[in-house]
Amino acid sequence: MMIGIDLGTTFSAAAYLDPDGNPQLVSNSRGARLTPSVVMEEDDGTVVVGEDARESMVLMGDAVVSTVKDYMGTDRKFVLPSGTAYTPEQVSALILKKIVKDAEEFLGEEIRQAVVTVPAYFNDAQRQATKDAGRMAGLDVACMPNEPTAAALYYAWSSRMEKGRILVYDLGGGTFDASIVEICGKQAEVVATGGIRKLGGHFFDQLILNYAADYLLEKYGLDVYDDEYIDELQELSLKAENCKIQLSSRTSAQMVIKIGKVREKLEITRAQFEKMIAGFYGRTESTVRMVLQDAGMSWKDIDKLLLVGGSSKIPYIAERLREFSGMEPSHETNPDEAVALGAALYASGLFEKVQDVCSHSLGIVSRRGAGAEKYNSVIIPRNTALPARMSRDYYTGTNDMKKICLEITEGEDEDLDYVSILAGIEILLPPGIPRNTRVTVEMFLNQNQLLHVYARIHAEPEIYKEIEIPRSSNLDESEIAEQTTLLERIVVQ
Ligand SMILES: Nc1ncnc2c1ncn2[C@@H]1O[C@H](COP(=O)(O)OP(=O)(O)OP(=O)(O)O)[C@@H](O)[C@H]1O
Ligand SMILES: [Mg+2]
């Protein structure tokens, strides 16, 4: 059976299609539907994933890794007490292993294939890292649909929507995504998407934590960010999250602080919290406005405003969205579960067609003439339907050029300061290529938004080749093989 997995920043979940054709969540070994994306290494080398690891965060801080998804596509290492330095891919693979193991026990069958969702705004390196994590976990990741798309599929299925446009507002633990998805019978088409990389509940906790830290510093001269309070800080950040969640159902909440000699009940009101997150909310609203604009739509073209992600349960978010859109935001689906359930629908093939779009423009660094300033020349614009194959022509600047240096860009802006460089590639040229020889750079972005680049040099004879992209922020094949072997030896509980 192929399952759907929501590999979240704070929680992960798996879902499957039951014999009646209904998507259902898997219960983990603790009987819960959500598994914290937290990994802990025990003294004997056993790796514990989920609630047990989360509960140990305070006492075993240095042996615990959380919010690894924030670091996907980076070369960050997590050094655990055994001395092993885990990559974000490895930590994610351990989470996937646990999710799959629990699903196998729950469903009573072996699972080899899965659909794993990713934030719509994930870039090339983050998607590549997620795919590699799946491979390391021994999982064939058949597809990596975007989280808001999966949520829209679930909403359309559960509400029996025949035709309509859904605007998904997905505010989770670490990322924000907004997508407009058009449903037509058994087909789903994403019209436009956008997001913010580091915005979510995890950062709201930080705001409350900073508030408490400022308070303690002012009143007691106590600096909780000092190394000596490392364990207390861990505990305080869990309390900050708790306080935030309480504020979704109450107008004020207390944080009981016990640090050193300090015993204090710090009260935080909902109004105070709303003030803290207003700026973050404003950024999400701008993104939604941009997505509507990219789709050439206004609110009157939208039939449903769907809230997804645990942080969308904050009443302020729904209130502001109600004002902004003039629509009633939908709470009909459980915001924590919709993505995994939609992933299961995706895996089942119940929808005949799910067409997504590319979330970032892709191109190369070019010049508008010899000596002119460098700029970002976009080849595949953002929001192009996937899979996408597009090309652009460039011309060699001098006679007998020895090589072409292709720098692959990700981002919309012409100004290179605002885009990232995915990779730099050298294409060696045969001797005697005259100036102004046409070079066609072709980009192919597959369904999973993984990029392939080809170059055609219009010389005699013509040269056409696929270019290996050395992704500097991802692992290479030998590193993957090595880290997979290491993971095979680890028992995950
Ligand atoms: N009732 C609530 N009120 C406020 N915040 C909540 C509530 N319930 C959960 N959260 C927050 O939601 C976040 C987790 O949401 P969710 O499980 O959707 O995220 P995720 O899938 O792990 O993250 P992402 O989608 O960004 O990768 C956490 O920050 C959690 O504190
Ligand atoms: Mg999520």
Ligand 1 pocket member 343 (CB < 6 A): no
Whether residue 182 is contained in a domain is answered as: no
Largest pairwise CA distance in the chain: 81
Same domain for 4 and 136: yes
How far apart CA 238 and CA 255 sit, in angstroms, is: 10
Domain finish residue from 274, 304, 335: 274
Judged by its nearest atom, the ligand closest to the C-alpha of residue 273 is 1
Lookup: tokens for 402? 């020895």
Q: What is the pLDDT of residue 277?
A: 97
Give the residue ranges of the chain where pLDDT is below 70: none
User: Of the candidates 202, 72, 197, which has an alpha carbon nearest to the alpha carbon of residue 134?
Assistant: 72
Whether residue 333 is contained in a domain is answered as: no
- Interstrand relation of 353-355 and 176-184 (parallel, antiparallel or unpaired): unpaired
Q: What is the pLDDT of residue 492?
A: 81
- The amino acid present at 349, given as its one-letter code, is G
Domain finish residue from 250, 274, 298: 274
User: Of the candidates 155, 111, 262, 274, which has an alpha carbon nearest to the alpha carbon of residue 208?
Assistant: 274
Residue for token pair 């088409």: 189
* 203, 280 Cβ separation under 8 angstroms: yes
- Tens digit of each residue's pLDDT (9 = 90 or more) over 134-175: 999 999 998 999 999 999 999 999 999 999 999 999 999 988
Whether residue 413 is contained in a domain is answered as: yes
Q: Which three-class secondary structure state does DSSP give residue 382? A: coil
Same domain for 15 and 98: yes
DSSP letter (8 states) at residue 289: H
Ligand 2 mean position to 309 CA, how many Å?
5
Judged by its nearest atom, the ligand closest to the C-alpha of residue 95 is 1
Ligand 1 pocket member 310 (CB < 6 A): yes
Whether residue 291 is contained in a domain is answered as: no
Q: What is the pLDDT of residue 207?
A: 96
CA 387 from centroid of its chain's CA atoms? 20
Same domain for 205 and 123: no
Same domain for 140 and 1: yes
Ligand 1 pocket member 8 (CB < 6 A): yes
Whether residue 335 is contained in a domain is answered as: no
* 142, 61 Cβ separation under 8 angstroms: no
Same domain for 120 and 222: no
Q: What is the pLDDT of residue 110?
A: 95
Element (H, E) at 5: strand 2-7
Element (H, E) at 346: helix 338-348
Same domain for 124 and 1: yes
Per the structure, the complete domain to which residue 240 belongs is given by: 201-274
- The amino acid present at 72, given as its one-letter code, is M
Q: Which three-class secondary structure state does DSSP give residue 209? A: helix
Q: What is the pLDDT of residue 377?
A: 96
CA 322 from centroid of its chain's CA atoms? 26
Peptide bond into 36 cis (omega under 30): no
Mutate which of 6, 7, 9, 33 for ligand 1? The one with the most ligand atoms within 8 Å of its CB, which is 9
- The amino acid present at 490, given as its one-letter code, is I
First to last CA, the chain: 22
Same domain for 392 and 421: yes
Ligand 2 mean position to 119 CA, how many Å?
8
Ligand 1 pocket member 123 (CB < 6 A): no
Whether residue 11 is contained in a domain is answered as: yes
Q: Which three-class secondary structure state does DSSP give residue 111? A: coil
CATH number for the domain that contains residue 218: 3.90.640.10
How many domains does the chain divide into? 3
Q: What is the pLDDT of residue 471?
A: 74
Q: What is the pLDDT of residue 60?
A: 72
In 185-235, which ranges are E strands?
187-196
Judged by its nearest atom, the ligand closest to the C-alpha of residue 36 is 1
Give 322's contacts (C-beta < 8 A, 6+ positions apart).
Answer: 328, 329
Q: Is the dihedral of CA 440, 444, 449, 452 positive or negative?
A: negative
Cα 396 to Cα 321, 377, 466: the distances in Å are: 51, 15, 19
User: Of the candidates 23, 12, 18, 29, which has an alpha carbon nearest to the alpha carbon of residue 105?
Assistant: 29
Whether residue 489 is contained in a domain is answered as: yes
